Amino acid sequence: PTAITIITLSIIMGTILTLSSYNWLMAWIGLELNMLAILPIISKPKTTRASEATIKYFLTQAIASAMMLLSSTTNAWQTGSWDILELKNKFSTTIMALSLMMKMGAAPVHFWLPEVLQGTTLQTALLITTWQKLAPVTLMYMISNNIQPALLMSAGLLSMVVGGLGGINQTQLRKTMAYSSINNLGWTIMIMALSPNLAIMNITIYIIMTTPVFLMMKNTSMKTLQNLTTTWTTSTAMTLSIALLMLSTSGLPPFTGFMPKMLALNELITQKLTTLATLAIMTSLISLLFYLRIAYLI
């Protein structure tokens, strides 16, 4: 109980410290505390898969933290300020954006996320896909005015493509949820360049929808698509709820998940970025394919 209390407090404290800091060093300390606290949780199941997932998570987060330090130090060297909002150096903003994308698991630095989720329990997978995204997304929100819009939009579009194509041939539910997370982060990052508030709303709705999915999967011990077909007989209401939540996450009207996507597309078209909006819709259709497949199986 003591260890669990310390770990839980460290995870909460780390995120809150990052969310409330004005200084790059404090934000970095918060992320570091958060990372070190979650490692024992990932490695708790005494299996080789869990150990492998822990090492993968640790290495990627450590590299991202090193990039954060490099970026903030270069910026402080150029501008003389450690303030988060004072990230004016172009090199620093690009490196910082990449490190934050790596922390949250967005393409092109997403490779660790499906592997780590597959090696952990559903409870830990829920923690990584929801709570662990809050700090990096908030930091990106704070510096969104300084990042080049082209970088955010191309990374967002790439995340959508990777999330859509990666999830199609998966039979493992945790990997499917990982690619779903990458796809959703794509929408968040892409719209961050034009309307940061909309990006925050998008990630909030995603977290609200994905939490019950993971909790229900944990309740019924679902791990593969085959498990989905057999749970219908034992817990009908829960399986139906998962199907509806999956369709909502995919952004199918009239579900809640359609709203942030519609607003994002509206924003893109208002800014005369029709080609980007068209590409976003097309990648959204790819991801809709595997959500629909899950719903059909149920």
Task: Write the CA distances from 214 to 34, 43, 124, 241, 267, integer angstroms.
Answer: 21, 19, 10, 12, 31
pLDDT by residue (tens digit) across 158-173? Answer: 999 999 999 888 888 8
Residue 10 has a pLDDT of 94
By the 10 Å C-beta count (0-12 exposed, 13-18 middle, 19+ buried), 3 is classed as exposed
Task: Reply yes or no on whether the pLDDT at 18 is more than 90.
Answer: yes
Residue 59 has a pLDDT of 96
Task: Reply yes or no on whether the pLDDT at 211 is more than 80.
Answer: yes
Mean pLDDT of 58-87: 93
Confidence of residue 102 (pLDDT cuts 50, 70, 90): very high
Distance CA 12, CA 88 (A): 30
Write the DSSP string, the chain: -HHHHHHHHHHHHHHHHHHT-SBHHHHHHHHHHHHHHHHHHHT-S-SHHHHHHHHHHHHHHHHHHHHHHHHHHHHHHHHS--BGGG---HHHHHHHHHHHHHHHT-TTS-THHHHHHHHS-HHHHHHHHTHHHHHHHHHHHHHTTTS-HHHHHHHHHHHHHHHHHHHHT--BHHHHHHHHHHHHHHHHHHHHTT-HHHHHHHHHHHHHHHHHHHHHHHHTT--BHHHHHHHHHH-HHHHHHHHHHHHHHTT-TTSTTHHHHHHHHHHHHHTT-HHHHHHHHHHHHHHHHHHHHHHHH-
Confidence of residue 131 (pLDDT cuts 50, 70, 90): very high
Task: Reply yes or no on whether the pLDDT at 144 is more than 80.
Answer: yes
Q: Which domain holds residue 90?
A: 1-297
Distance CA 221, CA 243 (A): 16
Task: Reply yes or no on whether the pLDDT at 298 is more than 80.
Answer: no
pLDDT by residue (tens digit) across 40-64? Answer: 999 998 899 999 999 999 999 999 9
Tokens of 50: 């869990």
Residue 284 has a pLDDT of 87
Cβ atoms within 10 Å, residue 52 = 16
Mean pLDDT of 195-219: 93
pLDDT by residue (tens digit) across 217-231? Answer: 898 888 888 888 888
Looking at the structure of the chain, the number of domains it has is 1
Task: Reply yes or no on whether the pLDDT at 96 is more than 90.
Answer: yes
Confidence of residue 89 (pLDDT cuts 50, 70, 90): confident
Mean pLDDT of 177-191: 93
Distance CA 89, CA 144 (A): 13
Residue 236 has a pLDDT of 84
Residue 46 has a pLDDT of 87
Confidence of residue 148 (pLDDT cuts 50, 70, 90): very high
